[in-house]
Amino acid sequence: MPASRSVVIGVDSSTQSTKAAAVDADTGALLAVGRAPHTVTGTAGARESDPEEWWTALVTAVRAAVRDADVPAASVTGIAVAGQQHGLVTLGAGGRPLRPALLWNDTRSAPQAAALAARLGGPEAWAARTGSVPVASMTAAKWQWLREHEPERADAATGVRLPHDHLTERLSGAAVTDPGDASGTCWYGTATGAYDREVLDLLGLDPALLPALAPTGATRAGTLAPAAAEALGLPRTVAVAAGTGDNMAAAVGLGLGGAGLLDHPVVSLGTSGTVFAATRVRPAAPGLAGFAATDGAGTYLPLGCTLNCTLAVDRFAALLGLDREDAVPGGGVVVLPYLDGERTPDLPHAAGLVTGLRHDTDPRAVLGAAYEGAAFTVLRALGELLAACGLDPAAPDVRDRPLRLIGGGARGRFWTDTVRRLSGRPLVVPAAGELVALGAAALAAGAATGSDPVALATAWGTGAGEVLPALPRDEETWDRIAGVLTAATPTLLS
């Protein structure tokens, strides 16, 4: 490939690993993907990672992507990071982390979240001003936990960042974030497009510790800093985008946003399960995260998130000694696989629950019930999301819009079958397997050229894929799981 051909790098820095996609900026062709793992530590609700390991993984993954794409370094024109949302990175002298980052699925801050949610007028007021109500996953609750449990570190902080902010700063030297990822903190006002000073005062958080707000995730934060260029083996002229959160980048990769699809639902099956849609409506529903989108086009990205999805189901497969695909429908068995507590519904202290076992229960049915419990929880959140967007989930024109199914679970036959059976909706399973990284690549191309990233991704066709027709909705299984959840919540799950 000649050096004059433009290549962009999209980085997906997730909970478990970093993936860096080298993408042809003209066609969207995925040239190569580099990978490197992360380490997550912690027990009893704690989930932490060392941000220095994220940086090392980013360098390893980007170098591998450029090498495997067989392109000259001079052809790389842009880079952007999409990171796991909500994590708390506290910086000290020299911009280096004071302690391991508290991750999105660290539930130790549940008491702080509950206390915060009761302030400032209660949950409805929080949703109206920030788009979201504090729960254990939100960054504001994690900062409050740090203030109460490690006050000396909170006092010593010279910067407070989200995971993608920290990596963008390592790349460019610029302390910058975007509206999308910032809207997951509970200290950014989706109604105002700025940090909420009253919330910051409540948290004792000096706004000077926070990164500047860029208009979009494709805004050019700068170019590679000298140390970053040397580490990556790339020219200093490479444009660095402000970047965004992983869910916002996935939306861009699917072509969702002001210059693309609006009000088309997405279900993502990963470590967590998420449902989202790009919309012009700014929903304020306490059970949802009312995020901003990253394209800066007056677009929002309301999202429902569950903590327990593919990882929890895989754990059931391991406990049963079964392959993950060796499952059958649960029948009379119900599993609520809330192994890490749950976020939606808000049950941070819940544990997994199994009911309906008999002497003749097939272990494969228990595994199938774990799939059903996880899929039910995600799809239940989808109904709440559509309603918050002013849509009737049962209306034919809404019901017939296909779900776009993404994430690692979308590659699993039983996952796909379960979602079709419990949703009664057609599915689109995009052919592209790295939508977060591809969305980040579109942001990188936007930073390099000034183009709208959603329009770029739409032209690239990264959201296209196989269409699976709807199946009749399994009302019996749905109602059985719903009944168990309702009955168990007051005692067993709270």
Q: Tokens for 222, please give them.
A: 């700068």
Say if residue 345 is preceded by a cis peptide, omega within 30 of 0: yes
Tell me the chain's radius of gyration from C-alpha atoms. 21
User: Alpha-carbon distance 168 to 241, whole Å?
Assistant: 8
- Phi/psi of residue 246, each to 5°? -65, -40
Which residues, in sequence order, are bridge partners of residue 80? 10
User: Alpha-carbon distance 56 to 64, whole Å?
Assistant: 12
Is 323 labeled as catalytic in the residue annotation? no
- Phi/psi of residue 92, each to 5°? -120, -150
Q: Contact, 303 vs 291, CB < 8 A?
A: yes
With CA atoms as reference, report the closest residue to 456 among 2, 74, 78, 57.
Answer: 78
Mind giving me the DSSP string for 12-58? EE-SSEEEEEEEETTT--EEEEEEEE---B-STT--EE-HHHHHHHH
Question: What are the distances in angstroms from CA 223 to CA 66, 234, 348, 436?
Answer: 18, 11, 41, 22
Mind giving me the DSSP string for 75-88? GEEEEEEEE-SS-B
Q: Contact, 460 vs 28, CB < 8 A?
A: yes
Q: Tokens for 23, please give them.
A: 């993408």
- The HSE-up count of residue 20 (CA atoms within 13 Å, CB side) is 30
- Phi/psi of residue 376, each to 5°? -55, -45
Catalytic residue among 12, 178, 196, 246: 246
> Which residues are designated catalytic?
246
